[in-house]
Amino acid sequence: MRLFLDTANIEHIHHGVRLGVISGVTTN
């Protein structure tokens, strides 16, 4: 399974990367 964050919030992105579960980020 691939998980993507849909956010432009840098703190949310950093947290997801630290957890090691994020495959990518979208910033609509």
pLDDT for the residue numbered 27: 83
Helix locations, the chain, DSSP H:
10-19
What is the average per-residue pLDDT within 8-13?
Answer: 91
- Residue 8 — left, alpha, or beta (φ > 0 → left; ψ -120 to 50 → alpha)? alpha
Identify the residue with better confidence: 27 or 18.
18
Confidence of residue 24 (pLDDT cuts 50, 70, 90): very high
pLDDT for the residue numbered 28: 75
For the chain, percent of residues with pLDDT exceeding 90: 54
How far are the Cα atoms of 6, 9, 22, 24, 25 from residue 28, in angstroms, in the given order? 7, 12, 17, 13, 10
Of the candidates 2, 9, 7, the one whose C-alpha atom is nearest the C-alpha of residue 26 is 7
Confidence of residue 15 (pLDDT cuts 50, 70, 90): very high
